[in-house]
């Protein structure tokens, strides 16, 4: 399998705290991979390094897409990472609360459109067409994610589960090839979680988007993932299929041991 | 509301403020003649004033909290008055006509003096709208805004002095100089976090003013530059009165241009990015928006209007010196934006007219102008951070139900 | 060489005054991450209160030391009261509001207090009695450093030691440190955060007032505007040292004071304020964490 994302020996220090410790990770095309680990293991930090929000202390992050040149993510600004095709959601929801659902998704289209200041003032044909296209495309994304009914609501007025899905919609609007989901099911009820499960599979199957997700809901992780990485104290302690992970003693000790029924 | 507890609270507050203001308000020493003046009546006034104001203060705080709770529960708050008016053609069409008529006849019915004041207010409308892009839309607190205003004013004064360039030639040059300075100053500072940004822009503003004050060879120092010509009209000789009326209409024209451009910007892809940036910087970047460029564009766009307004200012007063461009000028413009409503064009116009015209007409208050401005900033932030007029940003609405043939339309209330 | 020492000592004096103000900025910033724009005004009000008290007592013919003592105490008490009220009125209601709102409110407060003093007192410079007597034993070095200058430097040193002690060893100090680390957490473990914030403002205002009295007596005149310039400079100093760090504030102040003294002494006094602002801009752009501050990566 040719990996589309390859991370080598990624290390991140905060002062004296080593949040990531020589972490290696690979993801193949159209895979659904889960990153799990106890609280404070460094999972979110991993996403933040990938997406250019934190500068990693050491290590290498590469994307290798078929038919394209290999690209190093180190040192890229967050917006360039997004342009390169990685999009993410946030664990603590970071929607634009005072904008509507549609507008939130329209922001996601920003990096795939180009109208500038002159265009904005002149409002020429190209700009108008682009604006209309942004609205249409954004609506199309909302339909795919199942949020069309909320299109004109303010993001802050959405129910919690819908806010999480809106985060996904917004990320999808940037046309990623790899979607990073940080605890997408957190705070969802079982029904919502099941819908999310279906949604994620659909995103992979229909859009061909590869998915890396952080999740604490073990049932969801086990049913969704093709492969799982387990980290603890910033170190990778196991990797493998859900079946292998379930029976891995190190994982049970570090993680599942705390939570018997997971 | 007026229970014993409440009265006691207010009473204690009033005692506290009487104590607090005692030395500064009551006593005044004259060290030359060795006299101490005791102004006891003031203590009395403070006592009464703070007693009643503390009721009002608590009442408003309570109301605000109540409103917040309602908003948290998702109860839809009533539509703001400006939007309600804007929605009903039978309200806003007559209002619009009335405003047009008033604007047209104003300089002919009112005195020269009042026209001059109105021009000043209109200059603040332009600078306010410019600053509104920076503070209101992009959420960047720029306390050195007046520097760009100074750049525009000095561009006109100096270009005219040295090369005899006229108003209409320099107007775009002034705007361009504002833009250039906006980019030059913005580039290094925009990486900073919010409050540092405020302080550094303040620093830049003061640097520019102090340089103007001290670099005599270039700017003629504190004595300034006089005899700056008013705008010309095909070389026609005009009396002072005529020239003022002409300038008034020039201003009206420029205000309209500003409103037009600002609204277009606000409702564009860039404008959306500005607002998103204000809402959440990290998320914004993660959505692929270039933070530096977006901030810089807001900063520079704001500076452009300041530069243009500066040219008009120089033409209006015909004399400029660095004293016109102090930090407090920046803060007054900020006040205009904050009072009216950050992010709202109508709000800014309203803010400028209120803050600039009221003190002129209520002569008794003009002394207290800055005191009141300070209080306005605090009170607005505490009770109504959105300003008096709530933002009438175009809210993208998706109209039409057929999913396969969506019809996009944006409603623009206000 | 003599000139060099003269400049150095006047720089240290200047820096000590900045330090007394900068401490307040840094403490408040450490606790609520807000630039208290009105801090300079508290200092100015302290100086005015001292002026009023001192003038009255001078007219009554009291002796200098007693006047100095009483004027300082009254000034400190009043500044504390102002600091406390300021926080309650302008910042506390905005604790959960966006940063921008609190900042605008702070600026409003600064403008308000300046004009309050301007209107209630005067816009002119007021002569301030020189309260610190020249000690005779210091006569031999008087050409280098005067008694008031020594008093200023000493006071700053003492205040610094006391504050360090308070932060390190007292209950309040611990609560302050806890609050500045993580306010939510501090609240959960039972720290009365509102009280801690109030105390921070009160303590910061007290040191600023001391600075106000000392500088006023040293320079010999004050007006309503002294708070603004001194406030900005002290802020520059706090940033220079690393905002949030108390030793940083003192170090930054001394460095700024000396840098300014040398700049005016050797280069030009016209651009003195420009120089301070340039330092500010350069520091913030190239090393926003300051000399002693750590550059944290903000958590996402
Ligand atoms: N900006 C930062 N500065 C300092 N320490 C940080 C920062 N970001 C994260 N950390 C620390 O790094 C460690 C890993 O944090 P991280 O948020 O990555 O954990 P996580 O695996 O996502 O946990 P959770 O499941 O609770 O979300 C924690 O100890 C955290 O306190
Ligand atoms: Mg996490």
Portion 270-329 of B in contact with A at CB < 8 A: 270-273, 275-276, 279-280, 282-291, 297, 301
The CATH code belonging to domain C2-286 is 1.10.3470
Q: Looking at residue B71, what is its pLDDT?
A: 66
Mean pLDDT of A63-74: 86
Q: CA–CA separation, C147 vs C6, rounded Å?
A: 14
Question: What average pLDDT does chain B have?
Answer: 84
Could you read off the pLDDT of B279-334 as tens digits, one per residue?
A: 888 999 999 999 989 999 999 999 999 999 999 999 999 899 999 898 888 988 99
- Pair of tokens at residue B278: 């204000």
Q: B225 near B321, Cβ under 8 Å?
A: yes
Q: A72 near A79, Cβ under 8 Å?
A: no
- Pair of tokens at residue C118: 């301007």
Query: Which of B25, B139, B192 has its CB closest to that of C284?
Result: B192
Q: Looking at residue C204, what is its pLDDT?
A: 92
Of B206, B378, B379, B385, which to mutate for an interface test with C (greatest number of C Cβ within 10 Å)? B378
Q: CA–CA separation, A155 vs B46, rounded Å?
A: 46
Q: Would you say the CB of residue A234 lies under 6 angstroms from ligand 1? A: no
Mean pLDDT of B21-28: 90
Could you read off the pLDDT of B61-71 as tens digits, one per residue?
A: 888 888 777 76
Q: A248 near A241, Cβ under 8 Å?
A: no
Q: CA–CA separation, C140 vs C164, rounded Å?
A: 34
**Ligand nearest the Cα atom of residue A37:** 1
Separation of CA A13 and ligand 1 centre (Å): 11
CA atoms within 13 A on the CB side of A212: 27
The answer to whether the CB atoms of B398 and A51 lie below 8 A apart is no
Query: Which of A79, A143, A157 has its CB closest to that of B290?
Result: A79
- Pair of tokens at residue B15: 């005692």
B283 or B193, greater pLDDT: B283
Query: How far, in Å, are A29, A60, C30, C136 from residue A212 at the CA level?
Result: 11, 18, 38, 78
Q: CA–CA separation, C242 vs C288, rounded Å?
A: 8
Using the atom order of ligand 1, give the atom closest to the CA of residue A45.
Answer: 18
Q: CA–CA separation, A179 vs A237, rounded Å?
A: 23
Q: Would you say the CB of residue C299 lies under 6 angstroms from ligand 1? A: yes
The answer to whether the CB atoms of A152 and B397 lie below 8 A apart is yes
Q: Looking at residue B75, what is its pLDDT?
A: 53
Mean pLDDT of C168-195: 87
Q: CA–CA separation, C38 vs C108, rounded Å?
A: 8
A89 or B65, greater pLDDT: A89
Q: C101 near C222, Cβ under 8 Å?
A: no
Mean pLDDT of B39-54: 91
The 3-state DSSP class for residue B60 equals helix
Query: Which of A99, A120, A131 has its CB closest to that of B279?
Result: A99
Least confident stretch, A88-97, A169-178, C232-241: C232-241
Q: Is the confidence at residue A64, as pLDDT, over 70?
A: yes
CA atoms within 13 A on the CB side of C19: 30
To the nearest whole Å, the CA of A80 is away from the closest chain B CA by 7
Q: Is the confidence at residue B412, as pLDDT, over 50?
A: no
**Confidence category of residue B398, pLDDT binned at 50, 70, 90:** low
Query: How far, in Å, are C11, C18, C19, C77 from residue C160 at the CA level?
Result: 18, 13, 9, 19
Q: Would you say the CB of residue A39 lies under 6 angstroms from ligand 1? A: yes
- Pairing status of strand A32-36 against strand A210-214: parallel
Flag whether residue A94 sits within 8 Å of chain B, measured between CB atoms.
yes
Q: B217: how many CB neighbours lie within 10 A of its CB?
A: 6
Q: Which distant-in-sequence residues (6+ apart) come within 8 Å of C172 by Cβ? A: C166, C196, C199
| Partners of residue C297 in chain A, C-beta under 8 Å | 14, 54
Q: Is the confidence at residue B176, as pLDDT, over 60?
A: yes
**Ligand nearest the Cα atom of residue A40:** 1
Q: Looking at residue B2, what is its pLDDT?
A: 62
Q: B240 near A71, Cβ under 8 Å?
A: no
Q: B54 near B60, Cβ under 8 Å?
A: no
Q: Would you say the CB of residue A43 lies under 6 angstroms from ligand 1? A: yes
Q: Is the confidence at residue B277, as pLDDT, over 70?
A: yes
Q: Looking at residue B414, what is its pLDDT?
A: 32
Sorted by where each starts, the structural domains of chain A and their CATH numbers stand as 3-85+176-259 (3.40.50.300), 96-162 (no CATH)
Could you read off the pLDDT of C239-257 as tens digits, one per residue?
A: 888 888 888 889 999 999 9
- State pTM to two decimals: 0.87
Q: Looking at residue C202, what is its pLDDT?
A: 94
Q: Is the confidence at residue C194, as pLDDT, over 80?
A: yes
To the nearest whole Å, the CA of B396 is away from the closest chain C CA by 24
Q: CA–CA separation, B368 vs B386, rounded Å?
A: 24
Residue A32 DSSP class: E
Flag whether residue A124 sits within 8 Å of chain B, measured between CB atoms.
no
Q: Looking at residue B81, what is its pLDDT?
A: 63
Q: CA nearest A82: which of A37, A56, A50? A: A50
| Partners of residue A15 in chain C, C-beta under 8 Å | 294
To the nearest whole Å, the CA of B43 is away from the closest chain A CA by 45
Q: B341 near B391, Cβ under 8 Å?
A: yes
| Partners of residue B410 in chain A, C-beta under 8 Å | 135
Q: Looking at residue C199, what is its pLDDT?
A: 93
Q: Looking at residue A204, what is its pLDDT?
A: 93
| Partners of residue B27 in chain C, C-beta under 8 Å | 52, 56
The 3-class secondary structure across A82-121, one letter per residue, is HHCCEEECCCCCCCCCCCEHHHHHHHHHHHHCCCCHHHHH
Q: Would you say the CB of residue A37 lies under 6 angstroms from ligand 1? A: yes
Q: Is the confidence at residue B28, as pLDDT, over 50?
A: yes
């Amino acid at each position: 399998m040719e990996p589309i994302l390859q991370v080598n020996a990624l290390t991140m220090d905060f002062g004296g705290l080593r949040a990531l410790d020589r972490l290696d990770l690979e993801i193949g095309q159209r895979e659904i991979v889960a990153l799990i680990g106890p609280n404070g293991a460094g999972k979110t930090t991993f996403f933040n390094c990938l997406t250019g929000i934190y500068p990693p202390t050491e290590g290498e992050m590469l994307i290798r897409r078929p038919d394209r040149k290999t690209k190093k993510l180190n040192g890229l600004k967050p917006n360039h990472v997004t342009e390169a095709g990685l999009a993410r959601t946030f664990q603590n929801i970071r929607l634009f609360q005072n904008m509507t659902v549609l507008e939130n998704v329209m922001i996601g289209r920003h990096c795939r459109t180009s109208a500038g200041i002159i265009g904005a003032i002149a409002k020429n044909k190209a700009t108008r067409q682009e604006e209309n296209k942004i609205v249409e495309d954004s609506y199309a994304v909302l339909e795919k994610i199942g949020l069309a009914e909320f299109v004109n609501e303010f993001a802050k007025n959405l129910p919690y589960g819908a806010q999480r899905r809106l985060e996904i919609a917004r990320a999808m609007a940037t046309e990623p090839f790899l979607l990073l989901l940080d605890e997408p099911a957190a705070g969802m009820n079982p029904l919502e979680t099941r819908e999310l499960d279906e949604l994620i599979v659909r995103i992979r199957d229909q859009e061909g988007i590869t998915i890396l997700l952080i999740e604490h809901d073990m049932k969801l992780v086990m049913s969704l993932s093709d492969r799982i990485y387990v980290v603890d104290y910033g170190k990778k302690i196991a990797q493998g299929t859900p079946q292998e992970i379930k029976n891995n003693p190190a994982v049970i000790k570090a993680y599942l041991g705390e939570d018997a029924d997971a | 509301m007026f229970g014993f507890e409440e009265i006691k609270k207010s009473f204690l507050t009033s005692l506290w403020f009487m104590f607090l203001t005692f030395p500064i308000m009551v006593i005044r020493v004259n060290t030359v003649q060795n006299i101490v003046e005791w102004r006891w009546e003031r203590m009395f006034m403070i006592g009464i004033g703070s007693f009643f104001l503390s009721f009002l203060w608590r009442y408003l705080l309570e109301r605000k909290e109540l409103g917040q709770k309602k908003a948290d529960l998702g109860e839809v708050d009533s539509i703001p008055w400006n939007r309600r008016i804007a929605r009903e053609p039978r309200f806003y069409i007559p209002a619009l006509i009335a405003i047009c008529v008033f604007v047209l006849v104003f300089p002919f019915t009112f005195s020269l003096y009042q026209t001059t004041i109105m021009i000043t207010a209109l200059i603040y409308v332009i600078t306010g709208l410019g600053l509104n892009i920076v503070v209101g839309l992009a959420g960047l607190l720029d306390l050195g805004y007046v520097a760009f205003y100074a750049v525009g004013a000095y561009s006109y004064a100096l270009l005219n002095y040295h090369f005899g360039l006229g108003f209409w030639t320099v107007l775009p040059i002034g705007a361009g100089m504002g833009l250039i300075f906006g980019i030059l100053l913005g580039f290094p500072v925009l990486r900073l976090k919010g409050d540092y940004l405020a302080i550094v822009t303040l620093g830049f503003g003061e640097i520019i003013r102090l340089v103007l004050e001290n670099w005599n060879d270039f700017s003629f120092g504190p004595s300034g530059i006089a005899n700056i010509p008013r705008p010309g009209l095909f070389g026609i000789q005009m009396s002072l009165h005529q020239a003022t009326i002409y300038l008034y209409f020039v201003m009206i024209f420029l205000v309209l241009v500003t409103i037009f451009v600002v609204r277009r910007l606000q409702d564009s892809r860039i404008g959306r990015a500005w607002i998103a940036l204000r809402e959440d910087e990290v998320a914004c970047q993660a959505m692929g928006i270039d933070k530096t460029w977006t901030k810089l564009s807001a900063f520079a766009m704001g500076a452009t209007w300041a530069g243009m307004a500066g040219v008009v200012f120089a033409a209006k007063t015909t004399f400029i010196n660095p004293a016109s461009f102090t930090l407090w000028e920046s803060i007054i413009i900020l006040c205009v934006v904050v009072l009216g409503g950050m992010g709202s064009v109508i709000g800014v116009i309203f803010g400028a007219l209120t803050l600039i015209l009221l003190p002129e007409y209520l002569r008794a208050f003009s002394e207290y102008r800055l005191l009141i401005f300070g209080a306005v900033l605090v009170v607005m932030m505490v009770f109504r951070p959105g300003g008096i007029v709530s933002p009438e940003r175009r809210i993208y609405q998706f109209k039409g139900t057929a999913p396969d043939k969506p019809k996009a339309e944006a409603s623009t209330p206000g | 060489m003599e000139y060099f020492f003269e400049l150095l000592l006047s720089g240290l004096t200047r820096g000590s005054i900045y330090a007394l103000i900068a401490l307040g900025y840094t403490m408040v910033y450490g606790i609520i991450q807000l630039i208290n724009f009105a801090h300079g005004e508290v200092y100015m009000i302290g100086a005015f209160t001292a002026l009023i008290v001192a003038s009255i007592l001078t007219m009554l013919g009291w002796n200098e030391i007693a006047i100095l003592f009483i004027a300082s105490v009254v000034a400190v008490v009043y500044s504390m009261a102002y600091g406390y009220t300021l926080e309650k009125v302008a910042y506390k209601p905005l604790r959960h509001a966006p940063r921008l709102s609190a900042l605008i409110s702070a600026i409003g407060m600064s403008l308000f207090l300046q004009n309050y003093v301007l209107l209630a007192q005067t816009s002119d410079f007021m002569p301030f009695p020189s309260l610190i007597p020249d000690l005779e034993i210091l006569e031999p070095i008087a050409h280098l450093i005067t008694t008031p200058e020594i008093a200023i430097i000493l006071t700053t040193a003492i205040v610094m030691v006391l504050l360090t002690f308070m932060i390190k060893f007292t209950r309040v100090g611990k609560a302050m440190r806890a609050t500045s680390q993580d306010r939510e957490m501090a609240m959960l473990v039972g720290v009365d955060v509102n009280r801690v914030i109030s105390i921070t403002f009160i303590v910061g205002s007290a040191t600023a007032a001391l600075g106000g009295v000392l500088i006023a007596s040293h320079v010999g005149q004050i007006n309503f505007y002294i708070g603004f310039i001194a406030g900005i400079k002290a802020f520059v100093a706090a940033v220079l040292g690393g905002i949030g760090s108390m030793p940083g504030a003192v170090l930054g102040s001394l460095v700024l004071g000396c840098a300014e003294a040398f700049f005016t002494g050797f280069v030009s006094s016209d651009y003195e304020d420009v120089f301070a602002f340039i330092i500010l801009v350069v520091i913030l752009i190239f090393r926003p964490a300051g000399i002693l501050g750590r550059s944290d990566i903000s958590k996402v």
